[in-house]
Structure 1
Amino acid sequence: MSNQAVSRPTRVAQEIRRTIAQLLVQEVKDPRFQKISITDCKISKDLSIAKLHFSMIGFNESDPEVTETLAALEKAKGFFRSELGRRLRLRIVPDVRFYYDNIPEHVQHMEDLINKALNS
């Protein structure tokens, strides 16, 4: 697929995802963020809202660690937004919103069910 076939919102979403993941690994010192994996980024057509989905290996959505991490991400939104503005040089820096992605949990559950069925 050529670069021209990919829409601008898609390219911006990819850059935002990459930048936030990089910030979490290299810049942010909060130990709760070390367990995070940014799984997806969706951006509104007008580029004003970026919805970032994250997962935490070994945790379920109901775990208190997930709630605490989400609260910490919300608290750090200003930092992430200012870094996006500085690094990506966007005219409009999107509002960053974080959501827990429970798809990896469901995948693990399905794999467990399949293995159980195969081994029965």
Structure 2
Amino acid sequence: MAKEYRKEMIESEILRLVNTNISNLRDPRIQDKLISATRVELSKDKSYADIYVSVLNGDLDEVIEILTKAKGFFRSLISRNIRMYKIPEIRFHKDKGIEESIKIHKLLNEIKGETDE
């Protein structure tokens, strides 16, 4: 019970750190993009942190590549702000949840438009 609570606290703190510091990256390719880390999943042994990212106005693959190159920045940020025995290896992944919800919303609107006619 206590271990699960600690894991959730670490995940939420990593999520907060990543979201507040994405804008500190100096890569000009992501300066005008709205990037958001949506969730963090920490492995049971806390050696890996899977961070799911979504982008509203840009290429998600390119953003994942840029963030992957900057994972050392995020690891050092985590090490300075969270007391942990071992700092997790960071892996960035696409979060397609927002894209999928937009698709579903469009489909529902199309269905609603067909039934109104």
The yes-or-no answer on 1:51 pairing with 2:45 is no
Equivalent residue in structure 1 for 2:86, among 85, 92, 95? 92
Q: Which residue of 1 aligns with 2:27?
A: 30
Structure with higher Rg: it is 2
Q: Which residue of 1 aligns with 2:100?
A: 106
TM-score by length of 2: 0.85
The yes-or-no answer on 1:116 pairing with 2:110 is yes
How far apart are the structure 2 equivalents of 1:67 and 1:5? 34
Q: Which residue of 2 aligns with 1:70?
A: 64
Letter in 2 for 1:15: E
Letter in 2 for 1:102: K
Which residues of structure 1 form unaligned runs of 5+?
60-64
Identity %, equivalent residues: 31
Superposition CA RMSD, Å: 1.8
Which residues of structure 2 form unaligned runs of 5+?
none
Q: Which residue of 2 aligns with 1:18?
A: 16
Displacement of 1:5? 9.4
How far apart are the structure 2 equivalents of 1:91 and 1:30? 31
TM-score by length of 1: 0.83
